[in-house]
Amino acid sequence: MQNNVLILDFGSQYTQLIARRVRELNIYSEIKPYNNPPKDLSSYKAVILSGSPFSVRSDDAPHPDLSEIKGKKPLLGICYGAQYLSHFNGGNVAPSATREYGRANLSYIKPSEDFLSGLEEGSQVWMSHSDTIKQLPEGAVHLASTQDVENAAFRIEGEETYGIQFHPEVYHTTDGTKLLENFLVKIAGLSQDWTPDAFIETTIAELKEKIGDEKVILGLSGGVDSSVAAMLLHKAIGSHLHCIFVNNGLLRKNEFESVLDQYKHMGLNVKGVDASARFLEALKGESDPETKRKIIGRVFIEVFDDEAHKVENAKWLAQGTIYPDRIESVSASGGPSAVIKSHHNVGGLPDYMKLKIVEPLHLLFKDEVRRVGKNLDMDESILGRHPFPGPGLGIRILGDITAEKVSILQEVDAIFIDGLKKWGLYDKVWQAGAMLLPVNSVGVMGDERTYEKCVALRAVESTDGMTADWVNLPYEFLQKTSNDIINKVKGVNRVVYDISSKPPATIEWE
Ligand code: XMP
């Protein structure tokens, strides 16, 4: 990739947002940790320094060597990045008298500067810092201020080096995208050709070249990532792609049949394997959440492995891994990583399988995967699907799992999800599902006393599942759903709604 932006990460909570904003401009960008930068910088046409929770004045703050970058490539420092550029070039960074968080407005803008072109006096920006640049380094040209921050934007004379105290990547910075575009296109001369169609074309060509006439196996999950990965491979190598879709008996109601149908409709060479009985047998009597997860993971690999062996001459294993799964993150706390991602559906295949790995989506963010799927004419019912965990209903049935409990939860879940769709709420919710609780409670139906199961409904808003908030679903909807569940699902006499956010709760109950 020759038209590429390097984002050096200093541990800011907004670093991924910078990459996404750049990509929204149809310019490819990559995030690398400041302490492990790429050795070869030749493919990067511009560099952006992220913010950071550290103070530049602290000894353990990131202090990377920029001698191969500053003055040699267009360079933009954001927040900590700007302070870093000042501090180590003769400027003065000190604690601010007033901490500036949230909205501010730019003034003293120089409209004649390419960097600020299109921005107007008063333009809203987002600030989040406790240090401030008291004095700019020598050779710096002051470009903008806010009410509380004198040096809100500057450039270094004779270089394509810029610094801004605010965060252009945050939506509250009204002209943030414009500013990034000015820097990347007007100043750095990058072209805006990173589009879904261009990605599809180059990826298919690369996959053809890489795989040749060897065979690939891929585990489909029904989710967006594995489905889009399969479509790209299908376009590249056709029937040499062998997809396997395993029914672990813990899928949603009728999901195995309907998703399998959809895949076949898309022309995929897919084999559905119904291993429900094998999973249920292995899970029998087990109620510890982690052990249940491990059993489901192990049996999945066994089933997948059995099927993969039936494909003669398979040389590759395809995975739907996406970019956020691979970003090496910088930890603000000094620990190994700020983002802990422990969930994988197909991971850790036995060594003896000796398959080469191919990951067609490893460069994409989730929203880009959806855009690519759309341009591949994939159905909205696959692209707009809520995330669903690999262990499925197994981690939504608290305690031990039986076929009867699975069937009760499938009915409850179907009423809830169909209801969300009917009420036009499905696309407003990031993920939703029902949990079967290991408690019975007393109820009354007609004149009869009942002593039956309780279910919890959960619907959350989120962007990546790392944090989440419960959704304020309309009371009328909850009322109708609760009635439907209790009237239609035998064995359930009580419905509750989960109003916990993550953290401290998690999205799944197990
Ligand atoms: P938690 O419960 O950790 O879930 O807040 C965060 C997101 O991850 C999903 N999840 C999984 N996905 N395999 C998966 O593919 C898993 O083992 C797994 N466990 C949780 C969960 O549904 C939510 O979207």
Q: Are 414 and 457 in contact (CB under 8 A)?
A: no
**Does the pLDDT at position 164 exceed 70?**
yes
Integer CA distances (angstroms), 166 to 5, 103, 104, in order: 20, 9, 9
> Which residues of the chain are in CATH 3.40.50.620 domains?
196-383
C-alpha 480/C-alpha 217 separation (Å) is: 44
Other C-beta atoms closer than 10 Å to the C-beta of 158 total 8
**Does the pLDDT at position 335 exceed 60?**
no
Residue nearest to atom 11 of ligand 1 (CA): 389
Integer CA distances (angstroms), 361 to 175, 249, 377, 475, in order: 30, 28, 17, 40
Ranking 98-107, 122-131, 190-199 by mean pLDDT, the lowest is 98-107
Which amino acids are annotated catalytic? 79, 167, 169
pLDDT in tens, 466-503: 889 999 999 999 999 999 999 999 999 999 999 999 88
Whether the CA torsion 95, 98, 102, 104 is positive or negative: it is negative
- State the pLDDT at residue 352: 58
Tokens of 414: 């179907």
pLDDT in tens, 432-474: 999 999 999 999 988 899 999 999 999 999 988 888 999 999 9
Share of the chain above pLDDT 90, in %: 85
**Domain spanning 4-187: which CATH class is it, in words?**
alpha beta
pLDDT band at 326 (very low <50, low <70, confident <90, very high): confident
Average pLDDT over residues 329-349: 46
* End-to-end Cα separation, the chain, in angstroms: 42
**Does the pLDDT at position 344 exceed 90?**
no
Residues at CB less than 6 angstroms from ligand 1: 343, 345, 387, 389-391, 431, 465, 502, 506-508
Residue nearest to atom 7 of ligand 1 (CA): 465
**Does the pLDDT at position 274 exceed 50?**
yes
Index of the ligand 1 atom closest to the CA of residue 502: 5
pLDDT band at 342 (very low <50, low <70, confident <90, very high): very low
Index of the ligand 1 atom closest to the CA of residue 395: 19
pLDDT band at 257 (very low <50, low <70, confident <90, very high): very high
- State the pLDDT at residue 247: 98
CA 392 to ligand 1 center in whole angstroms: 9
Q: Which helix (H) or strand (E) holds 299?
A: helix 289-310
**Does the pLDDT at position 410 exceed 50?**
yes
**Does the pLDDT at position 341 exceed 80?**
no
CA 418 to ligand 1 center in whole angstroms: 21
Index of the ligand 1 atom closest to the CA of residue 388: 22
- Pocket probe for ligand 1: among 296, 508, 509, 510, the residue whose CB has the most ligand atoms within 8 Å is 508
Index of the ligand 1 atom closest to the CA of residue 468: 5
Average pLDDT over residues 169-198: 96
- Pocket probe for ligand 1: among 325, 339, 343, the residue whose CB has the most ligand atoms within 8 Å is 343
Homologous superfamily (CATH) for 196-383: HUPs (3.40.50.620)
How many helices, marked H, and strands, marked E, lie in the chain?
Answer: 13, 18
Index of the ligand 1 atom closest to the CA of residue 462: 24
CA 390 to ligand 1 center in whole angstroms: 8
Pick the CATH number of 402-497 from 3.30.300.10, 3.90.650.10, 3.30.365.10, 2.60.120.260: 3.30.300.10
> Which residues of the chain are in CATH 3.40.50.880 domains?
4-187
> Which residues of the chain are in CATH 3.30.300.10 domains?
402-497
Please list, in sequence order, all residues whose beta carbon lies within 8 angstroms of the beta carbon of residue 59, skipping any fewer than 6 positions away: none
> Of the candidates 84, 75, 85, which has an alpha carbon nearest to the alpha carbon of residue 6?
75
Residue nearest to atom 3 of ligand 1 (CA): 506
**Does the pLDDT at position 351 exceed 80?**
no
Please list, in sequence order, all residues whose beta carbon lies within 8 angstroms of the beta carbon of residue 131, skipping any fewer than 6 positions away: 55, 56, 57, 83, 93, 94, 95, 96
Residue nearest to atom 22 of ligand 1 (CA): 389
Residue nearest to atom 4 of ligand 1 (CA): 507
Q: Return the SS3 of 195.
A: coil
- State the pLDDT at residue 13: 86
CA 328 to ligand 1 center in whole angstroms: 20
CA 342 to ligand 1 center in whole angstroms: 9
Tokens of 57: 């004045």
- State the pLDDT at residue 107: 95
CA 9 to ligand 1 center in whole angstroms: 26
